[in-house]
Amino acid sequence: MSLFVPMFKNLLSSLFKKPYTVRYPFEKKELPRIHRGHIKIDINACIFCGICQKRCPTYALKVSKADKLWSIDRLSCITCNLCIDVCPKKCLSSGVEWSASTSNKEESIENFYATATPTPISKPAPTPE
């Protein structure tokens, strides 16, 4: 009988509280400031060094310097943010979007190609003597 008293107290107290859940597609939950969301990249700032790929514990990242390609498999990514921590150019960041659900492996892979070409550093013109 003493087991039912705490359960009954809990039941009565939960009747007068707000629910812990939200109706997700219709209501968006306020995310904490330190939320780990989608990994985002500023592809034109990336130098394609591959450090993020080497550090990824699930091998979700693929970097190709020759093709200027940065690819992420969203189903494999566990959003540990290790790639963000080791990026020397700080071109990786964490977004606040929820991941889009898909059951198709090919749809979960996102490819990013660098479009801007770096401006060549021109040498100063020689001074006439």
Each residue's pLDDT tens digit, 45-83: 999 999 999 999 999 999 999 999 999 998 899 989 999
How close are the terminal C-alpha atoms of the chain, in Å?
A: 105
- Choose the CATH number for 32-113 among 1.10.10.10, 3.20.20.140, 3.30.70.3270, 1.10.260.40: 3.30.70.3270
The domains of the chain are located at 32-113
Find all residues with CB under 8 Å of 44, minimum gap 6, and list them: 114, 115, 116
Which pLDDT band, with edges at 50, 70 and 90, does 23 fall under? confident
How far apart are the C-alpha atoms of 52 and 81, rounded to whole Å? Answer: 10
Pair 82, 57: CB distance under 8 Å: yes
What's the length of the chain? 129
Task: Output the pTM of the full model.
Answer: 0.65
Q: What is the mean pLDDT of the chain?
A: 84
